[in-house]
Structures are given as C-alpha cells and as structure tokens.
Amino acid sequence: MILTDEIPELNKKLENKSPREILEWTVAEFGDDLAMSSSFQTQSMPLLHMVTRIKPDLRIFFLETGYHFWETLIFCARVATDWNLNVIDLHRDSRWDVFVRQNLRSLPLDDPNLCCYINKVQPMQKAVIGLKAWMTGIRRDQTAERAHAQILELENDGLIKVNPLLNWTKADVTRYIEENHLPGHPLLEKGYRSIGCAPCTVAVGASDPDRAGRWVGRGKTECGLHTELFRQKEWVVR
Ligand code: ADX
C-alpha cells in the first residue's frame, strides 16, 4: 500500500522511467485493483499495445457517451477484438436519461460542461470506486492543465491516478506507432487529430495545434476527467 506522503518521492523516481517501466511498476504495485481508461484514438494505441504485453486482462474503461463518431465505436470494437482487450463500456447514470433524451441535440452545444459531467466525469467517478489505481494516457504536451500533472496523483478516497505517458511527446507516440505498425483511427487522415464526441469535435488544419478542434469557441479545453471537477462529488449549478 502506498502512503500519501510517499507519493512525492515515488514521483521523483518514476519521472526518469519509460512509460513501459511505469506500466510494469503500476501492475506490480496494484495488480487487479487497477483499471485504465482509453478514448480509443490513434494516440491511445501505444499504451493499449503495452498493456497487451504486460497485463492483457487489465480492465479498460471506455466512456460510451452516446455522442461518439461511429468511426470511434467501430475502431474501438475492432482494436478490442483484434487485441483481445478487456474493454468495459461505461454509460451515464440512468437518472439522466429523460433529461438527455429531451435535450439530445442542444445539451452538448448549450452546456458542454454539464454534458461532459453527465457522460464522462460521473460515470468514471462511479467506475473507480473500490479501485486502488486508475491509469490514463494524458501527456504534459497536450494542454496547459496537463503540463502540471504528476505521474502519480492522489484523487478522492485514496485513489491513485497513474499517468505513464506524461513525459512522452507527440513525436514519441508517433514513433512507437510506426515502429510497432499500430492501427490508426479512421478519422485521423481526415484532419481529426484529437477526437472527442462528435458535436464538440471538428477537423483541424495542418498548421493548427492537435486539440484546436475540441470544443471550438467554447473556452473549454478539458472534459473534466483530469481537472478539479473529477474530485467534486456533485454538479455545482453556476
Ligand atoms: S479529453 O478530456 O480531451 O476528452 P483525451 O481524449 O485527451 O481527453 O484523453 C485523455 C485521457 O482521458 C485518456 O487517456 C483516457 O484515459 C481519458 N478519456 C478521455 N475520453 C475517454 C473516453 N471516451 N473513454 C475513456 N476514457 C477517456
């Protein structure tokens, strides 16, 4: 068991390790009390590929928001089948169903923060209950918030979030994909370099940052899985 005050020292040690070494350490430390989440984009492939080599039965949470591009659902199903992954779909709490059905088109456009909370943050908060660790694929080079992330982060109720790819750059991800001949999300070649839900994602130009097509014009860069919102026990109406 890891004590809270051991985390800074462990982080110092893990900073110099490769994603594969961090993954091996995490699996050895947490065993079956660990799960990971993946958004099944092209850039998700390296970590998933490492999992197939190190802990093939690891639970992999996929947030089935109901708003994905069909290409994402097909890609996820294909990779899960080809690599024999233990993918578990997470859905919003059914208490939201009537509200979401009544506001299906307007919800992501009028209130993307609430939409992400209902369809991503809350289902993940529920899924990690009882786990000791939750692994994600965020990188420091992706957003201003993620630039300050740590490899091990303490969440509510003692849960440890592990981010093995934190120090990898986009170039590292691309190199790993090429070297290992990993598959790519079908929308990548159409200019979708970072892919979330369909109502909130557009293709970007060659000179734009990868995430420029996420929540365009909404002043939003994060869904909330990797911000303070994740530690919030309920939605706060502003
Ligand atoms: S997002 O906040 O912009 O949507 P991004 O696509 O970069 O996130 O993914 C970062 C990490 O968030 C992923 O490695 C994964 O752990 C988690 N994540 C994001 N979207 C999903 C999803 N639909 N299902 C499962 N995990 C997800």
Q: What percentage of the chain has pLDDT greater than the value 90?
A: 94
Strand partners, 37: 61
Residue 221 lies in a domain: no
Residue 232 lies in a domain: no
As a whole number, mean pLDDT of residues 68-91 equals 98
How does pLDDT run across 179-194, given as a tens digit for each residue? 999 999 999 999 999 9
* Interval between CA 120 and ligand 1 midpoint (Å): 9
Residue from 225, 227, 229 to probe ligand 1 pocket by mutation (most atoms less than 8 Å from CB): 225
The alpha carbon of residue 92 and the mean position of all alpha carbons in its chain are separated, in whole angstroms, by 16
Residue 238 has pLDDT above 90, yes or no: no
CA angle 107–60–32, rounded 5-degree value: 135
Residue 224 lies in a domain: no
Domain that holds residue 112: 4-186
Tokens of 211: 């995430």
The alpha carbon of residue 150 and the mean position of all alpha carbons in its chain are separated, in whole angstroms, by 15
Residue 79 lies in a domain: yes
For residue 108, CA distances in Å to 91, 100, 119, 174, 200 come to 16, 10, 10, 31, 7
Measured from the CA of 196, which atom of ligand 1 is nearest?
Answer: 4
Residues 47 and 32: their CA atoms lie apart, in Å, by 18
Q: What is the CATH number of the domain that holds 92?
A: 3.40.50.620
CA angle 181–75–186, rounded 5-degree value: 70
Residue 129 lies in a domain: yes
* Interval between CA 137 and ligand 1 midpoint (Å): 7
Residue 203 lies in a domain: no
Residue 105 lies in a domain: yes
Residue 140 has pLDDT above 80, yes or no: yes
Q: Global pTM?
A: 0.97
Other residues' Cβ atoms within 10 Å of the Cβ of residue 102? 9
Q: How many domains does the chain have?
A: 1
Nearest to 71 by CA among 196, 176, 177: 196
Residue 209 lies in a domain: no
Tokens of 153: 């982060």
